[in-house]
Amino acid sequence: ASRVMVASRNYADFASEATFEIKPCDLHRLEEGPATTAVLTREEGLHYYKTMQTIRRMELKSDQLYKQKIIRGFCHLYDGQEACCVGLEVAIKPTDHVITAYRAHGFTYARGVPVREILAELTGRKGGCVKGKGGSMHMYTKNFYGGNGIVGAQVPLGAGIALACKYFGKNEVCLTLYGDGAANQGQIFETYNMAALWKLPCIFICENNRYGMGTSVERAAASTDYYKRGDFIPGLRVDGMDVLCVREAAKFAAEYCRAGKGPIVMELQTYRYHGHSMSDPGISYRTREEIQEVRSKSDPITLLKDRMINNNLASVEELKEIDVAVRKEIEEAAQFATTDPEPPLEELGNHIYFNEPPFEVRGPNQWIKYKSLSHS
């Protein structure tokens, strides 16, 4: 009871909001860019902190489960890049649309899928967000069109979603994400062209984490100014390690698209702490010191935490309590993900289409048939 008293007494002592100077974006074909100051309320700060910390812990738990051979197959972790998905999500509406590449766990959580469903999907269990049949690279929820396994393939799909947004006239936008490794794909430039011609409400977002698999951006791209790569499409280069920079840039880009001006390109300069995937130790092409330097100087969670404490938006104890609660949630989710049953074989053909009458699907040979149902 005394602890509750202390918390309620301290609550009045906190500031309700604070204003921060943030790094200006580099601009391409734009007269003016996003705001260079950002207001952060105490409530927002606590929400961003908890969300980023949850993603961080979820990814570290995924690493552990993978090393225990409980998660199998491909697994690409998002720790280090949390400010990107959180900053983008809080700047748009739930009715807006998001499609990304296969480093998708953070976006899946930011779009509203619970941790237990994400971890259960990773372990191939029935309680996973796509019933254990999608795994790490193929998670979906409403207005989230998944991680996509084929490099760059989600970019034309994202333009298709943006075309639907325009066609239905609902003033929605589509965030279409890809990595620096995919940025040299021909289909991306074809998509830029169509999106510009048709003035699609599409925000093309390059998450530049400095390495496409094991190749640094300097070795892979003649021009590393990814925000200028749209040529005739305006662009922004953003500090992707600062959740407030990402939020303000995404608000600006969403308003630009909603105003009917067509597409815009955003480059988020970020960094991944793990290797490209779990099969990559991540230190053969970069040093441990490089990773450590990024962690110590520009970690997105530490940056937000310091801002909040230094500006009296939260206390160290309060944030520690959030950390404890997050760890507990992750442990409980992992427990579920390791004990939930795997989906039965007869459900293998289910959920091929949404809202379709049942039909038969051929199995591994022509004599095996599975019934495909739309709803579980």
Q: Provide the pLDDT for residue 29.
A: 98
Residue 127 token pair: 């309680």
Are residue 156 and residue 230 in the same domain, yes or no?
A: yes
Q: Which band of pLDDT confidence, cut at 50, 70 and 90, is reported for residue 374?
A: confident
Which stretches of the chain are DSSP H helices? 2-11, 42-67, 82-91, 105-110, 115-122, 154-168, 186-197, 217-220, 243-258, 288-298, 300-310, 316-339
Q: Is the pLDDT of residue 5 over 80?
A: no
Beta strand pairing status for 37-41 and 17-21? Answer: antiparallel
Q: How far apart (Å, rounded) are the C-alpha atoms in residues 236 and 266?
A: 5
In a domain, 146, yes or no: yes
In a domain, 114, yes or no: yes
Are residue 267 and residue 294 in the same domain, yes or no?
A: yes
Q: Provide the pLDDT for residue 354.
A: 83
Are residue 71 and residue 98 in the same domain, yes or no?
A: yes
Q: How far apart (Å, rounded) are the C-alpha atoms in residues 202 and 175?
A: 6
The CATH number covering residue 303 comes to 3.40.50.970
Are residue 197 and residue 271 in the same domain, yes or no?
A: yes
Q: What is the pLDDT of residues 159-195, one digit of tens each?
A: 999 999 999 999 999 999 999 999 999 999 999 999 9
- What average pLDDT does range 47-55 have in this prediction? 98
Are residue 291 and residue 188 in the same domain, yes or no?
A: yes
Domain residues for 28?
17-343
- Identify the weakest region by mean pLDDT among 229-238, 306-315, 333-342, 361-370: 361-370
In a domain, 92, yes or no: yes
In a domain, 320, yes or no: yes
Q: Is the pLDDT of residue 320 over 60?
A: yes
Share of the chain above pLDDT 70, in %: 97
Q: Is the pLDDT of residue 257 over 60?
A: yes
Q: Provide the pLDDT for residue 21.
A: 98
Q: Is the pLDDT of residue 17 over 80?
A: yes
Q: Is the pLDDT of residue 375 over 80?
A: no
Are residue 335 and residue 351 in the same domain, yes or no?
A: no
Q: Which residues, in sequence order, are CB contacts of 332 under 8 Å at separation 6+?
A: 116
Q: Provide the pLDDT for residue 247.
A: 98
Are residue 277 and residue 355 in the same domain, yes or no?
A: no
CB atoms within 10 A of CB 186: 8
In a domain, 1, yes or no: no
Are residue 164 and residue 281 in the same domain, yes or no?
A: yes
Q: Which band of pLDDT confidence, cut at 50, 70 and 90, is reported for residue 376?
A: low
Number of domains in the chain: 2
In a domain, 7, yes or no: no
Are residue 176 and residue 137 in the same domain, yes or no?
A: yes
Q: Are 180 and 270 in contact (CB under 8 A)?
A: no
Q: Work out the mean pLDDT of the chain and round it to a whole number.
A: 95
Are residue 221 and residue 349 in the same domain, yes or no?
A: no
Q: What is the pLDDT of residues 69-96, one digit of tens each?
A: 999 999 999 999 999 999 999 999 999 9
Are residue 54 and residue 190 in the same domain, yes or no?
A: yes
Are residue 203 and residue 57 in the same domain, yes or no?
A: yes
